[in-house]
Structure 1
């Protein structure tokens, strides 16, 4: 049997200079059947005490074996480089807007538009907006009347389109906002609060959809459908207000609230009570107008309708106290970093 001895010098570099480690002596041979022995590896120690391995492969009759040094720390560093480079990529912000200002514009837009439609229709189209099926004396036109004539209908529809757009993401922001407060309450109240959060989101979305329905399906075009959508809007709006007040009572029980939070809860309750009282008055005078055609009954109906609309708008305006210093951001960056941030949010099953 022919013995082959190879001496391999192993070197490693560091910040302090070049160090030379000990040589490794390997012996390889082929048996009588001519089989080629497998590659072998030996752990070695460099001069600095580091541990590596020399991997050698050889064949019988060859002049020498081929050996290479395998350093685990070097391999791990190379594997980690792409991940580190990805994490070091800068994050770019393409859009940054004050959520507070967006909410103010969203809440005030239909209120300003409603006032504009009322004044212009009352001054320039008096006979058109005061026409009713009873043909009795009337001084206050309904919301459907002033937003159903031209050109006010186009202005109102355009305004509601701009209003509905931001309200959809605001509904989901409220959901996450309420869920982030679940950690403050006792565990036995979490299921009830979580159910209310889901209910509030559904009612809010139905209310938004119903608002679009009564806007784009006027009473002049299809009165039965318009009436049913308006009833849906009223029911979902009142239930949404009540569920929100109930949820705030659960989340804030025993908590010290700042001035803004106290203002938000106080005005939410006030506008909810105003909506309930206005709804009762609206139903009473609607019956008087619809079945008895009393004078001014439709005017009182329209008056309470305006109160309900204004109370609903101002109820949603309380968002300025719930989100006083938040921002809406569109950001570009590594998905892993964004996913890691989102995974840190409180989650309740």
Structure 2
């Protein structure tokens, strides 16, 4: 019997990662074109040319678009994470590999839910929850990125290569952004916050594509719905 609905997993993965990418690009462009002065202002009034992500998504319509994109992408991301865990568990030949697969699924799930908390609870209204969401998101994404790129069970050669490249870009841009954020808050130099914002974009984009690379392992997989 032919399935009622059949969706290739790579296509689902592409559309899933496209959502936060669209939300990010829209928010940055809207801020630059229509809300430049507010979103690029700094606490010490130094020259800055780019908004941070938190500033770009702080006010409507950017905040609405970003929240919708993150909310819509969450369920497919969890579904793909479950499929990846099932495949890894099936291919795993030892209990240790099964534990690794479950550990990666747990980290991926925590990352998705912490991103939802970080997105839906603003730093002004829910400062504590926003902070918890941010710390949890960074910690889980870093551990998952490293673990998945080093010991992914059943990953294709192409997938492993791109995971490692994107993981390196992610870690370097994350550590560099933290350095420039510290430098800006300590010395208040012109354009340092611009470098921080640019690196922040690279952090998010590299993370988005890191998760998209997982679809390389499912080039011949589909999700189908059939009648009994």
Do they fold alike, i.e. is TM over 0.5? yes
* Aligned match of 1:135: 45
Q: Structure 1, residues 317-337: CA drift from partner, whole Å, max 9, x if none?
A: 11231111211112232xxxx
- Separation of aligned partners in 2, 1:218 and 1:128: 17
Which ranges in structure 1 are unaligned for 5 or more consecutive residues? 1-90, 184-189, 334-349
1:168-183 alignment, distance < 5 Å = 168-183=78-93
TM-score by length of 1: 0.62
Q: Select the residue among 195, 201, 204 that pairs with 1:300.
A: 195
Question: CA offset at residue 238 of structure 1?
Answer: 1.1
Query: Which structure shows the bigger proportion of residues in helix conformation?
Result: 2
Match of 1:106 in 2: 16
**In structure 2, C-alpha distance between the alignment counterparts of 1:290 and 1:217, rounded to whole Å:** 24
Q: In structure 2, what is the equivalent of residue 266 of structure 1?
A: 161
Residue 197 of structure 1 contacts residue 247 of structure 1 at CA under 8 Å; is this kept in 2? Answer: no
**SS in structure 2 at match of 1:328:** strand
Partners of 1:223 and 1:304 lie apart in 2 by 24
Distance 2:91 2:95 in 1: 13
- Structure 2 residue aligned with 1:291: 186
Count residues in correspondence.
228
Secondary structure of the residue aligned to 2:4 is strand
1:199 aligns with 2:199: no
Higher relative contact order (CA 8 A, sep 6+): 2
Matched, 1:146 2:50: no
Q: Which digits, 9 at most, give the CA deviation of each residue in 1:262-296, with x for residues without a partner?
A: 22111100010011111211111121223332322
Distance 1:216 1:331 in 2: 35
Q: 1:276 aligns with which of 166, 171, 174?
A: 171
Q: Alignment RMSD, CA only? A: 1.8
CA distance in 2, matches of 1:122, 1:237: 28
What is the CA-CA distance between 1:221 and the residue it aligns to? 3.0
- The structure with the larger Rg is 1
Give the conservation status (yes or no) of the 8 Å contact 1:92–1:332: no
Q: What is the alpha-carbon distance in structure 1 between the residues aligned to residue 202 and residue 36 of structure 2?
A: 21
In structure 1, the residue corresponding to 2:63 is in which secondary structure?
A: helix
The runs of 5 or more residues in structure 2 that have no matched partner are none
2:14 and 2:212 in contact (8 A); partners too: yes
Q: Which has the higher strand share?
A: 1
Distance 1:175 1:144 in 2: 32
CA distance in 2, matches of 1:294, 1:213: 32
Matched, 1:229 2:133: yes
Match of 2:5 in 1: 95
What SS does structure 1 have at the residue aligned with 2:226?
A: strand
The reply to whether residue 115 of structure 1 matches residue 19 of structure 2 is no
CA offset digits 1:54-79 (Å, max 9, x no partner): xxxxxxxxxxxxxxxxxxxxxxxxxx
Distance in 2 between residues matched to 1:132 and 1:228, nearest whole Å: 24
